[in-house]
Amino acid sequence: MTSVKEQAAISRLITFLQEWDNAGRSTRSQILENFISANKGKTGPELEMEFSQGASLFLVRLTAWLRLTYLYGTCMQQLLKSIGIFLSAASGQRYLIEFLEVGGVLTLLEILGLSQLKEEDKKESIKLLQLVAASGRKFKELICESYGVRSIAEFLATSKSEETQEQVQILLDTLGHGNPKYQNQVYKGLIALLKCTSPKAQQLSLQTLRTIQTIVETAHPSIVDSVLGVLRSLHLEVQYEAIQLIKDLMAYDVRLPLLKGLVALLKPSRQETAKLQARILEETGTLHLMESLPTYIQQAAAAKAIGILAQDSRELAEELLFLRVVHGLMCAMSNKDHTNSQRQASITLEQDPTNLYLKMDGVQTDILASNIVNIPEVFLAKAKEDFREEEESTPEEELETEDSEMLP
């Protein structure tokens, strides 16, 4: 038999639920505001105490209203924040299960693709998906099985808010960890994102790929063209992340295709360059935009990446020499239309990057452009052998050699 105190609590709960059921939009909005301010950060047991062991009765009403109104954005931000209080409650996994049983994940994913909803509403949806994914492997799998990776990746590519995009990155990173069944799906989704037009999305995808790559262990062949394509970006932060990923990928089986690709970028196709130049002149009637020609930006970035790789590893430097990198760098130095290509190529060749390209005349650049430099393999092999002998020689041996040379 219930006590008078318990009966009073149950009566308050029934009154509260009836008020919600009979309320219009404005009243429900106020109820949600009061609920958020009074219950943020509460645990599952605390919520049950607040609702006289009937918290689930309010949660089911919230999820039902969400499913009925999410297409129209009715009180969406307040509604999602209220549901988030239940999903984030410590010792409250029952609320998560109840939310998922009524198709909560599918609703959250559909919200991301609705153009009529506000960016803030979609950010709240991402936060709820983060809570679901952080609850364990089976919940990550549920999101992925609901075509979640595709929906989330598409939203990252189209979002206009950098703050929201950073929240999406956290979600994708969570889905890529501790999710062996679908980690490759997340990995391929990130690779596909490199071809989007959002610089922030590209930057975040590159950062996440660096961590996910260590988990999947093998590199997918499609990553080669995708990461090389990102070098066309005008944004230095994107180029930086791309070069860092390229450095990481030197430990995988895409190493040689990447090196070949970088060397090839040093000498852009004349046909492609001519078409782009003609289009720029036709559309703008000015030559100064030649500096931002994507092919030239990519050429300069490739020269920079090659220089960084060669400095990091003598072995990589030798491989690049076999791939005729010197020939390519000299071609890049001849690019009179893009001073940064000349500068980066000069740095990599360890020439004078400050003044050399400024002092070159037309004849000199033509000579560089038509160079046929090719270091014979026999010379490279001999240099490699000499270097190994130097590394293996001991200080005592070197002293003996010097003494013998001093003797008459």
* Cα distance between residue 1 and residue 120, in whole Å: 48
Supply the pLDDT for residue 307: 96
The answer to whether 117 and 73 have CB atoms below 8 angstroms apart is: yes
Report the b/e string of 333-359 with b at 16+ CB within 10 A.
Answer: bbbbebebbbbbbbbbbebeeeebbee
Show the low-confidence residues of the chain (pLDDT under 50).
1, 387, 398-399, 401-408
- Secondary structure class of 262 (helix, strand, coil): helix
- 70-112 confidence digits (pLDDT tens): 999 889 999 999 999 999 999 999 999 999 999 999 999 999 9
- Secondary structure class of 304 (helix, strand, coil): helix
* Cα distance between residue 34 and residue 36, in whole Å: 6
Q: Is the dihedral of CA 36, 81, 50, 91 positive or negative?
A: negative
Tell me the one-letter amino acid at 178: G
**pTM of the entire predicted model:** 0.85
Q: Give CA 324 to chain center in angstroms.
A: 32
Q: Which two tokens stand for residue 97?
A: 């299960």
Supply the pLDDT for residue 406: 44
* Cα distance between residue 157 and residue 250, in whole Å: 27
Closest CA to 140 of 163, 165, 174, 91: 174
Closest CA to 126 of 160, 153, 92: 153
